[in-house]
Amino acid sequence: MNKKTAIYDSPASKDISIEKLVEIFKGLGVSRVLYKSLSPNDNSKNQPYLAGHLTDLGFIPTGEITESKSTSGKTKDPKRQIKYTASLDYSWVSSDGQLFTAPDAKLIYYPQYPEVRLSGFVTKCNFDMGGWMDPLKKGRSSGRVLFFGLKDTGEILAYLAVPDTRIAKEIHDYPSVTVSGVFNEIALIQSDRTGDSKDILISELCRIHQKEWIAGKKLNPDRTFKEYKAQNGGGYTMEAELGIIPNGIAEPDFMGWEIKQFGVKKCHLINSKPLTVMTPEPDGGFYVEQGVEAFVRKYGYTSTDKPDRYDFTGRHFSGTVCDKSGLLLVTQGYDPETDTITDGGGSIALLDNKGNPASIWTFAKIMAHWKRKHAKAAYIPSLSRNESDKSRCYSYCNNVRLFEGTTFNKLLKGIAENHVYYDPGINIKNADTKPVSKRRSQFRIKSSELHHLYHSQEDIDVLKP
């Protein structure tokens, strides 16, 4: 049998610097580097603690989320056995840049506690961890540091700095930004952005506001700007100013803050805008079983002003039958009185008058979308205008709102209490000839109601220190 390579006890891994590790990460296509100082309980048995909720890890790319039951013998209460698993595209990297796949790596979310832990990260790995994650060996040692290199493709490259190595000593004084209660981020590009991420964000929003009108643009992967004339350029332009490159993996993120720009007629009308919370396709019910065309023909209506067309629209609120569709929006497997998930296989659903599910969004499906809602979010109103050359300019208001602390339960409660509603825009064109369907399942909320989705709201004038 071939002896496995010991990658974190090698002389090279003991002498490597943080700058060298960052260089290795960048050479492997990493766009962000985060780290966590490990506690004695962060090992393969106890599973490293990463967050309280999945929304605290909006910056960590995950795959499919599935519901499963805990096999722990600590409790027989079925409500306390609920757990959700999120797959990871995870590999370990050595000090010379060699990759070792961890095929069983995953996040496990226990909503009853709540907590998110890293699991399966050493199972079936073709290298020797040196006992640094084994609680019976050196897996309870202080001074270990776990690094995550995140790629825009959704891959995670991990590196373990063991105690008394150069990196483990350097990290305490190395410039970084706190992005969660657990993770700090190292800037890959030379920057003076260090310290508290909220202060840095407010400073950046002040700078952007003071630029007044900004021509629409997007930021290219090589960090050059590209003109953007389409009507939806407000978000791209804001991201470009903040140095965020659009990648489609998650919501725009700035040092752990989700950036949500939205257009208004005047800056003080910040409460007037209906905002889209998420746009998930159903994963069950008649919609999935029979297809969107059959769904719209059954529950939709013929357009009054556009011939040969069917529409499925209407605001659907929990507990009230929608006049346009005749469907009822419900949350199944969630108790709003106790604010607990009572069935891990529960769902948000549209039911017809016989109780048959027209559309179903399972909790696992919605949770994957809600994870993209970071625990910290900035909502920035903006103005826009058209220029003579048909380009579009944007001006970002000084009055912004910062929200912190959201959970999946917050969303379920928001739906149950009618703060969040289902507002689809689904249709079939050329219905009697060559049908073409448009899918748009969206959950929305008034901007004045956003505080129901977060633990705290702070109204900020970026011009005032």
**What pLDDT is attached to residue 188?**
75
Average pLDDT over residues 400-423: 95
pLDDT band at 107 (very low <50, low <70, confident <90, very high): very high
How confident is the model over 110-155, as pLDDT tens digits? 998 999 999 999 999 888 889 999 999 999 999 999 999 999 899 9
Spatial strand order in the sheet of 347-351? 328-332, 347-351, 357-362
How confident is the model over 81-102, as pLDDT tens digits? 799 999 999 999 999 999 999 9
CA distance linking residue 14 with residue 348, whole number of Å = 51
Burial class (CB in 10 A: 0-12, 13-18, 19+), 434: exposed
CA distance linking residue 136 with residue 398, whole number of Å = 55
**Residue 208, beta-bridge partner list:** none
Other Cβ atoms less than 10 A from the Cβ of 420: the count is 27
The residue among 197 and 355 whose pLDDT is bigger is: 355
**What pLDDT is attached to residue 194?**
59
CA distance linking residue 359 with residue 372, whole number of Å = 22
**With helix as H, strand as E and coil as C, how does the chain read?**
CCCCCECCCCHHHHHCCHHHHHHHHHHCCEEEEEEEECCCCCCCCCCCEEECCHHHHCCCCCCCEEEEECCCCCCCCHHHHEEEEEECEEEEECCCCCEEECCCCEEEEECCCCEEEEECCCCCCCCECCCCCCCCCCCCCCCCEEEEEEECCCEEEEEEECCCCHHHHHHHHCCCEECCCCCEEECCCCCCCCEEHHHHHHHHHHHHHHCCCEECEEECCCCCEEECCCCCHHHHHHHHHHCCCCCCCCCCEECCEEEEEEECCCCCCCCCCEEEEECCCCCECHHHHHCHHHHHHHHCEECCCCCCEEEECCCECECCECCCCCCEEEEECEECCCCEECCCCCEEEEECCCCCEEEEEEHHHHHHHHCCCCCEEEEEEEEEEECCCCCEEEEECCEEEEEECCCHHHHHHHHHCCCEEECCCEEEECCCCCCEEECCCCEEEEHHHHHHHCCEEEEEECCCC
With beta carbons less than 8 A apart as the criterion, state whether 429 and 300 touch.
Answer: no
**What pLDDT is attached to residue 178?**
86
Cβ neighbours for 246, distance < 8 A, ≥ 6 positions apart: 218, 219, 236, 239, 252
**What pLDDT is attached to residue 72?**
53
pLDDT band at 1 (very low <50, low <70, confident <90, very high): very low
Average pLDDT, the chain: 90
**What pLDDT is attached to residue 349?**
97
With beta carbons less than 8 A apart as the criterion, state whether 346 and 174 touch.
Answer: no
Q: Which of 169-183, 238-252, 285-299, 323-337 has the lowest mean pLDDT?
A: 238-252
- Enumerate the domain spans of the chain: 11-186, 197-465
With beta carbons less than 8 A apart as the criterion, state whether 343 and 84 touch.
Answer: no
Rounded (5°) CA angle 110-49-454: 60
Q: Residue 258: is its pLDDT beyond 60?
A: yes
How confident is the model over 25-52, as pLDDT tens digits? 999 999 899 999 999 999 999 999 999 9
Cα-Cα-Cα-Cα dihedral sign, residues 403, 408, 410, 414:
positive
Average pLDDT over residues 49-75: 82
CA distance linking residue 36 with residue 182, whole number of Å = 6
Average pLDDT over residues 296-319: 92
CA torsion angle for 189, 192, 197, 200 (degrees, to 10)?
-120
pLDDT band at 388 (very low <50, low <70, confident <90, very high): confident
CA distance linking residue 212 with residue 210, whole number of Å = 5
pLDDT band at 421 (very low <50, low <70, confident <90, very high): very high
pLDDT band at 9 (very low <50, low <70, confident <90, very high): confident
pLDDT band at 217 (very low <50, low <70, confident <90, very high): very high
Q: Residue 189: is its pLDDT beyond 70?
A: no
Q: Residue 329: is its pLDDT beyond 90?
A: yes
Question: Looking at the whole model, is its pTM more than 0.85?
Answer: yes
255 HSE (CA, 13 A, CB side): 21
The structure tokens 């790995």 sit at: 125
The CATH class for the domain spanning 11-186 reads mainly beta
The percent of residues in the chain predicted with pLDDT above 90, rounded, is 73
**What pLDDT is attached to residue 213?**
96
CATH number of 197-465: 3.30.70.3570
**Residue 115, beta-bridge partner list:** 110
pLDDT band at 190 (very low <50, low <70, confident <90, very high): low
Measured in residues, the chain has a length of 465
Q: Which of 61-70, 121-130, 401-410 has the lowest mean pLDDT?
A: 61-70
**What pLDDT is attached to residue 304?**
83
CA torsion angle for 257, 261, 266, 271 (degrees, to 10)?
-70
What's the Rg (C-alpha) of the chain? Answer: 24
